[in-house]
Structure 1
Amino acid sequence: MMKRTLFWITYFAGFLALNGFAQSTQNQEWPAYGNDPGGMRYSPLKQINTENVKQLRVAWTFRTGELEHYKGTDASEKAAFEATPVMVDGMLVFSTPSTRVFALDAATGTKKWKYDPDVYLRQDLSEVTSRGVSIWPSATDKANARAPKRVIVPTLDGRLIALDAATGKPIASFGKNGAVDLRQGVGNISVTSPPAIIGNTIVVGSSMGDNQRFNYERGVVRAYDALTGQLRWSWDPIPRSRKDPGFKTWKGDNATQTGAANAWSVISADADRDLVFVPTTSPSPDYYGGERLGQNLYASSIVAIRASTGKVVWHFQTVHHDLWDYDNAAQPLLFTFNRDGKDTPAVAVGTKMGHVFILHRETGVPLLPVDERPVPASNVPGEEAHLTQPFPATLPALGLHKVEAWGATLAEKAVAEKRISALEYNGIFTPPSLKGSIIAPSNVGGINWSGMCYDPESGLLITNVNRIAATIRLLPREGLAVAVKDDQELLRSETGFQAGTPYVLKRSYLFTKSEQGLSMQTAPPWGTLAAINLKKGTLEWEVPLGFMYNPAQYPEAKKWGSISLGGAITTAGGLVFIAASLDGHFRAFKTGDGSLQWEIPLPAGGQATPMTYQLNGKQYVVIAAGGHGKVGTKLGDYLVAYALP
């Protein structure tokens, strides 16, 4: 009897192993937004793999009640559930668009606690979103490994809050009754991305709407003590002192009044090197730089800062004198770059232009060649576009770099041709103009905040890519009412007043809106998932991601792809997981060749980056499904976990 029992135990264990099930009960956490502090968004888990991913089913669903929370406000028009949960100690912690924080049992999805910072949603908020929270101590912090964990919560109304991870209660000894006021001395800022945690230091940026005036709030990056909330240092990406080497790159009587260049995306950390990597953005306003002539360091750059002192170690500018809203929106990705058998600590920088730069992590020197190439000049009085821009010399450029008129019907194509022919377009970095210019790639990317992930086994850098064009027109402030009076397109366009400059901004995109959705005016695909082989420096594969036209009416729709917001993750199971597209599906692709392995409809739009973890021997994949008010995907309040049956 004993032999028979041992036989069946051995047989069943072998069956589990062959089907990719871990025999160990070892847990695998997801302790930071990008899993590791450098944002590789890679998991070594492989219980779910290419052989069994088609068996994935909903394990549990949790609803936050967020839409009910918006009642009596217009928050839903801007709200986007973009959060990626973190998983530590068997608990999932995440934030809703209004910055309410939930902690769930990671195995069952049942609520453990909730914290509401009571953000006033009727105030003027540029964005209503929160991409997540951070955990102190970080998973790599051995010195504080035994310390009780804290949840660090940045809020829409500019607070930095520390919660007891076990109870969700504010820690009274942090700041004032558990919170630090980030608006004090700065102005009306928000925080939409989780801060970086490095040792006992919290490094946080800010978010702001920056097209209403040129002298916007200062885009300072600040560091706080993780235990007390005391300010440790502050760094302004726009040099205010003549002693700063970057000061001379800002010209004009009003240049020192320029605001923004803030870091609203995720900041990466390297504790071993005492460095944080800050992705800065365009100075204010985005599309006119006549009040801030010059190269404009350290805006639109990746800046490495010594975490212990706040001193700049190196900087690499991705756009000189930014006139295109080409913010560094993606988290800088820290990885080990292996070329010709040599390992080098590196930073991968993905940009809205679709350019990918690979830099040495300790020096900022490009590890792959970068060229300075001539770009079109500006014809706007008062403006001086920079004569050159940096281009990766060997890596492929992603995104829309050639504009061709398109329409689902001949009539729609004719409308597109007429619209495009009336606008200025001289390729990438065509400056804004008084006539109206095509900006391609647009401010939506290329690569946007969705960012990139990296598979260290294959050496593939994987990202979703948008391929749409924007139109930008500058209108002289004097006579504005006359200019737009009978122009329906201008009346419908987004307006940026750009106070303090001679021009008002009008922005739209090369598509039209109808009851059926978006009618695109440039050739597909409009959204892809792409993999760059960093070992070879080549495009390994690129496939359409999602769809925007009804496949029943347009049989080719699934080849046309979709605009996407929300990133991808990769796993040792040979899979890339991503939602992001406007069609409301969650998908898994094969890492090696980009082939679709699994897809399932979500209960609401999945404009977020997923995550994965293992608990008690079972792997889960989790995605926030709450939609995006500005993009128009279905709104909801769901956190959905998937697992094998």
Structure 2
Amino acid sequence: MSTHWRWAALLVCSILSAGDTNWPVYGGDEGGSKYSPLKQIHRGNVTSLKVAWTFSTGEPLTPPGRGRAPAFEATPIVIDGVMYIGTPYGHVFALDAATGKQKWSYDAKIIPGDYGDFANRGVTFWSDPKAKAGAPCRQRIFFSSIDARLTALDAATGAPCADFAGKGEINLETGLKRGPEYKGEYEETSPPAVINGLVIVGSAIADNHRARSVSGEVRAFDARTGALKWTWHPIDTANTGAANAWSILSTDPKRNLVFIPTGSSSPDYYGGLRPGDNRDANSVVALDAATGKRIWGFQTVHHDIWDYDVANQPTLFTFQRRGQSIPAVAFGSKTGHLFLLDRTTGAPLFDVEERKVPASDIPGEQSSPTQPVPLMPKAWTRQSLPAEEAFGLNETDKTWCRDQIAALRNEGIFTPPSLQGSLIIPGNVGGMQWGGLAWDRDHNTLIVPINNLAAVIKLIPAADFKEARSNNRIGAEITEQKGAPYAMSRVLLRAPSGVPCTPPPWGTLAAIDASTGALKWQVPVGAFPGMPEPVATRFGSILLGGPIATAGGLVFLGATLDPFLKAYDIETGKELWRGQLPASSRAVPMTYQTGGKQFVAVAAGGHEASLGKLDNTLVVFSLP
């Protein structure tokens, strides 16, 4: 190479290294790979990470009415050196991504309500290709607030875009096939998706309030005007509702597809009023983004009576087989099953077996005789728990757990709910939760967070509901399932000491070969509060949140109950670094580069108050 070209190459590299690398959408890209090509921070220097800056939202840590405390679960996005983040209380902040200095804020002034999941997971950016440079609202931030409003904001100023629905916002309760009975039964917790000039929203719907719940339609609006373009209904709502998409949607602009992860039909634990498979509930469905037409759907659970939602964002990746590259999609279920499909057809890339499962003994219930089980990848969470395998830190706990399990209906995964009480494993927190997967394309690896906790589900005759609730001594969640002949009670199976009866580890991170489905490694992550060392780190923690992967050979993960952001080696799963947080993180981290410097950010909001302190701080790390 001549001296001239050598200097030119060095100049180009210098310009690139000094530039900005965005994290433009919730999952890093439209397909939710949660991967970054940045490698300034790598396995050799990650131990030098320090806190660069923090930002507190300043919001209360108590709910605005009845309901649960706020959950700061947001993953920020960064566009050209500006960070945007949403909050449970309806604020949107624009920050200087290098310093954390506030540029503007917006307050949606949310309506108080009984919000069952008082959370916000982030915002969405859109740039109008038809607008002139410098025009107001040429670049927009879309924000779905907890009280079910979709707002378009000018990314430069935070002002509502008046040309969007006439006033900058849409009331998403308007136009529902069946609306809410109270404020909070229908809410928005996840950022919308944007594809080819449309903004697309799902919804979060209160679990187990009533059989004929709010309808769970997905809707697309014109990103400029707010005009409704199409509506897709996942199920027939005659005797049921929900089957809603409360998690993150993914898009494939090249194929003009949007991928919808759906939850269970209502109510969660009794299906006698909704016979059949309840097609497109508990599914990933590919829709034509322009029309809302259903292209294909894949159901992970037939006739769900366990609250086994598809909770995580579908992850778009490239599947390699015999030298052929196949556009694919990966998604997990609370069952602990991971499905890999052809993205264009919905056909499984590995065989899926319809396996016979136990039948319900509840009058009027017609449970599905079989359930789909992928032969690869295999499930890496426990799916059965005989009484003799009950766990306890001491003999008292172990005996209590053993006796409890022995008294339950217990036939492994897909044991139907019962009047005597049924052991559900995995429990309603999964399996795999909303934090989702990451795809490291450099190592052709899917990174999967997994929970391993059993729960007890009990059906209660409707006439006994009030008495059961008033006599609740174990902290169970007891809800009416109004309109169904049975109420329900659910609780994680834990000994009187608070230790889970499920043998540990209770939370793990697994690496899966994206072409073969084989397990590369699996390690426990995090620690339960109050667990003694050295067993705490071996036993792991429940995970609510997800990982990201970077070209630096790293996996970053918060999600656990201990207050740290951690970095793992992508090739071995070894923990390389942990950074102290003011509270645990219930969010997906992200990374970006601005001014030539790479940063890693995570929301530290805490988990439930009973599991540690709550907070509202965004913590950003960088190299010194």
Q: TM-score range, shorter-chain basis?
A: over 0.9
8 Å contact 2:90–2:110 — kept in the other structure? yes
8 Å contact 2:529–2:561 — kept in the other structure? no
Residues 66-98 of structure 1: per-residue CA shift (max 9 Å, x gap):
127x587566x4311100000002100001122
| Alignment match, 2:226 | 229
Stretches of structure 2 that go unaligned for 5 or more consecutive residues are: 1-6, 181-185
Aligned equivalent of 2:121, options 131, 149, 152: 131
* CA separation of 1:427 and 1:83: change in aligned 2, threshold 3 A: same
1:393 aligns with 2:375: yes
User: Normalising to structure 1: TM-score of the pair?
Assistant: 0.90
8 Å contact 1:274–1:308 — kept in the other structure? yes
Aligned equivalent of 1:406, options 391, 396, 411: 391
What is the rounded CA distance, in whole Å, between the counterparts of 1:346 and 1:439 in structure 2?
Answer: 31
8 Å contact 1:63–1:637 — kept in the other structure? yes
Letter in structure 2 aligned against 1:464: P
Superposed displacement of residue 410, structure 1: 0.8
Aligned equivalent of 1:548, options 509, 522, 528: 528
| Alignment match, 1:196 | 193
Superposed displacement of residue 535, structure 1: 2.5
| Alignment match, 1:83 | 74
What is the rounded CA distance, in whole Å, between the counterparts of 1:198 and 1:64 in structure 2?
Answer: 29
8 Å contact 1:136–1:197 — kept in the other structure? yes
1:499 aligns with 2:482: yes
Superposed displacement of residue 219, structure 1: 0.2
8 Å contact 1:79–1:630 — kept in the other structure? no
* CA separation of 1:631 and 1:374: change in aligned 2, threshold 3 A: farther
* CA separation of 1:625 and 1:563: change in aligned 2, threshold 3 A: same
Between stretches 147-156 and 98-107, larger displacement belongs to 147-156
Residues 417-476 of structure 1: per-residue CA shift (max 9 Å, x gap):
111111111011111011100111111111110110000111111021110011100011
| Alignment match, 2:24 | 31
What is the rounded CA distance, in whole Å, between the counterparts of 2:403 and 2:303 in structure 1?
Answer: 31
Letter in structure 1 aligned against 2:352: V
Superposed displacement of residue 550, structure 1: 3.9
| Alignment match, 1:338 | 320
Superposed displacement of residue 239, structure 1: 3.4
What is the rounded CA distance, in whole Å, between the counterparts of 2:603 and 2:302 in structure 1?
Answer: 36
1:289 aligns with 2:260: no
| Alignment match, 1:179 | 169
What is the rounded CA distance, in whole Å, between the counterparts of 2:259 and 2:553 in structure 1?
Answer: 29
Aligned equivalent of 2:41, options 35, 48, 56: 48
8 Å contact 1:265–1:449 — kept in the other structure? yes
Letter in structure 2 aligned against 1:38: G
Q: Secondary structure at the match of 2:207?
A: coil
Deviation beyond 3 Å, 4+ runs, structure 1: 70-75, 141-147, 479-489, 629-633
Q: Secondary structure at the match of 2:60?
A: helix
Superposed displacement of residue 486, structure 1: 6.2
Letter in structure 2 aligned against 1:538: A
What is the rounded CA distance, in whole Å, between the counterparts of 1:65 and 1:487 in structure 2?
Answer: 35
8 Å contact 2:53–2:99 — kept in the other structure? yes
Superposed displacement of residue 488, structure 1: 3.4
* CA separation of 1:394 and 1:494: change in aligned 2, threshold 3 A: same
Residues 365-385 of structure 1: per-residue CA shift (max 9 Å, x gap):
111111111111111111011
| Alignment match, 1:509 | 492
Superposed displacement of residue 628, structure 1: 2.6
Aligned-residue CA RMSD (Å): 2.2
What is the rounded CA distance, in whole Å, between the counterparts of 1:470 and 1:28 in structure 2?
Answer: 43
Q: Secondary structure at the match of 2:463?
A: coil
| Alignment match, 2:4 | none
* CA separation of 1:126 and 1:176: change in aligned 2, threshold 3 A: farther
Identity %: 48
What is the rounded CA distance, in whole Å, between the counterparts of 1:631 and 1:200 in structure 2?
Answer: 43
| Alignment match, 1:488 | 473
1:420 aligns with 2:402: no
| Alignment match, 2:545 | 566
* CA separation of 1:40 and 1:486: change in aligned 2, threshold 3 A: closer
* CA separation of 1:608 and 1:479: change in aligned 2, threshold 3 A: closer
What is the rounded CA distance, in whole Å, between the counterparts of 1:218 and 1:369 in structure 2?
Answer: 33
Aligned equivalent of 1:378, options 360, 377, 380: 360
Between stretches 541-550 and 159-168, larger displacement belongs to 541-550
1:119 aligns with 2:148: no
Letter in structure 1 aligned against 2:508: T
| Alignment match, 2:154 | 164
Letter in structure 1 aligned against 2:575: L
Superposed displacement of residue 639, structure 1: 0.7
Superposed displacement of residue 23, structure 1: 7.2
* CA separation of 1:318 and 1:71: change in aligned 2, threshold 3 A: closer
| Alignment match, 2:343 | 361
Residues 360-416 of structure 1: per-residue CA shift (max 9 Å, x gap):
111101111111111111111110110111111121202221323111111111111
Stretches of structure 1 that go unaligned for 5 or more consecutive residues are: 1-9, 241-255
| Alignment match, 1:245 | none
Letter in structure 2 aligned against 1:332: P
What is the rounded CA distance, in whole Å, between the counterparts of 1:547 and 1:480 in structure 2?
Answer: 36
Between stretches 469-478 and 216-225, larger displacement belongs to 469-478
Superposed displacement of residue 145, structure 1: 10
* CA separation of 1:185 and 1:621: change in aligned 2, threshold 3 A: same
Letter in structure 2 aligned against 1:276: V
* CA separation of 1:417 and 1:513: change in aligned 2, threshold 3 A: closer
* CA separation of 1:631 and 1:283: change in aligned 2, threshold 3 A: farther
* CA separation of 1:286 and 1:72: change in aligned 2, threshold 3 A: closer
What is the rounded CA distance, in whole Å, between the counterparts of 2:214 and 2:479 in structure 1?
Answer: 16
What is the rounded CA distance, in whole Å, between the counterparts of 2:65 and 2:214 in structure 1?
Answer: 26
Superposed displacement of residue 629, structure 1: 3.4
Superposed displacement of residue 636, structure 1: 1.1
| Alignment match, 1:273 | 255
8 Å contact 1:79–1:628 — kept in the other structure? no
What is the rounded CA distance, in whole Å, between the counterparts of 1:631 and 1:463 in structure 2?
Answer: 26
* CA separation of 1:379 and 1:592: change in aligned 2, threshold 3 A: same
Q: Alignment length, in residue pairs? A: 603
What is the rounded CA distance, in whole Å, between the counterparts of 1:540 and 1:476 in structure 2?
Answer: 47
Between stretches 564-573 and 528-537, larger displacement belongs to 528-537
| Alignment match, 1:452 | 437
